[in-house]
Structure 1
Amino acid sequence: MDSRVGRVERLTGETTVVVELELGGQGYAVTTGVGFFDHMLATLAHHAGVGLTVRAEGDLVVDAHHTVEDVGLAVGQALAEALGERRGIQRFGFAYAPLDEALARAVVDLSGRPYAWVAFPQGLELALVTSTFPLTLVAEFFKALASRGLLTLHLDVERGRDPHHAAEAAFKAFALALRQAVQLVSETVPSTKGTLHL
């Protein structure tokens, strides 16, 4: 079977991002300049069962927003490239992941249709995970990933008090759902349309 690999370089006035992603690969090397985000990307790679390299430099003197969003765009694009025609994939995946009091649910459809719904418990939406990483950046990352990955994502943190736990549960739930969705289970495109491209 051909390897399923995507590589993306994204260069803007705000960020420089290089992403390599291999479905079914192993290992990760992540450097974005945002420590908590590095931890979340490593968590995603480990639980999704993908090899992932991310090198990013951004305008962190402003804040982490541009870096997180642009990494999301690049990871999504690399995922779409690795999936190719999406022939033979499971297509759908869903998972729950807890972290102590936090519980997250992710549902993924590698449909070719970009959409993301990301929700946190009332009262946590504007919480800070760290002094420089608001929980809102988790939603921005997944919205960017879904838009370029051409996938539909429903990601709900159903309960939680600690913003770190809420964020990490969200990344783990998405990773587990993605791992299921990218599995090869047949030789056909899993759509009555015969294609998963827009």
Structure 2
Amino acid sequence: MRTATISRTTKETAIEVAVNLDGTGEYDISTGIGFLDHMLEQLSRHSLIDLAVKATGDLHIDQHHTTEDTAIAIGEAVARALGEKKGIRRYGDALSPMDETLTRTALDISGRPYLVFDVEFTQTRLGEMDTELFEHWFHSFAQAAGITLHVETLHGANNHHLIESAFKGLARALRSAVEIDPRKADAIPSTKGML
């Protein structure tokens, strides 16, 4: 089983994360930010990665540290669970429709973290969460997981649909990329011999 647990404690947050890349999409999420919980539940359910997240943070200040550190811890857990990355498909992509919204997501588990995030919001908040924090979450996750990640809204209007489509797209692309390719289950998917 490709599993990992991460404990991340700073003066701003305390976070425990557990992942199982070969799971069934079971989740237990509690960050103190309702909308973020909802998005992480989508990430788990649609990636089939079991995900447990328990986070406490300085929400009396704002949601920035909790959002950022949760993404870092999840990214680190995914990277650790992947190990040497033998046999993975490496690449994943998805088109995620959600009513009027369509998001294109593509990623490469390359060891070269990079984010292109082309999603524009017309509201400053969704629920109690600042919409500017979503790009920061994707950036922190990509950095910690060591992936190149592109997320692009092709069209859409409803802000809730925009971000939920992006998280579902990440989930479906990640599901494809972390799967073991039975034709090359013993090989690292790179001509360099490492990722």
Fold agreement, TM-score > 0.5? yes
Please tell me whether the aligned partners of residues 128 and 163 of structure 1 are also in contact (alpha carbons under 8 angstroms): no
The correspondence of residues 19-168 of structure 1 with structure 2, limited to 5 A, is 19-26=17-24, 27-121=26-120, 124=121, 127-130=124-127, 132-168=128-164
| Length-normalised TM-score, structure 1 | 0.93
Q: Is the 8 A contact 1:127 1:163 kept in 2?
A: no
Q: 8, 12, 15: which one pairs with 2:6?
A: 8
For residues 44 and 122 of structure 2, the distance between their equivalents in structure 1, rounded to whole angstroms, comes to 25
1:37-56 CA deviation, whole Å, 9 max, x = no partner?
Answer: 00100100000011100000
Contact 1:29–1:54, Cα closer than 8 Å, also in 2: yes
2:166 to 164, 170, 186: 170
Q: Matched residues, percent identical? A: 42
Q: Give the letter for the 1:188 counterpart.
A: A
Q: Unpaired segments of 5 or more residues in structure 1?
A: none
C-alpha distance in 2, partners of 1:41/1:53?
Answer: 9
Structure 1 residues 27-83: Cα deviation after superposition (integer angstroms, max 9, x where no partner): 100000001100100100000011100000011111111111100000000000000
1:125 is displaced (CA, Å) by 6.2
C-alpha root-mean-square deviation of aligned residues, in Å? Answer: 1.1
Preserved CA contact (<8 Å) 2:123 2:159: no
CA distance in 1, matches of 2:46, 2:97: 13
Pairs aligned (count): 191
SS of alignment partner, residue 87 of structure 1:
coil
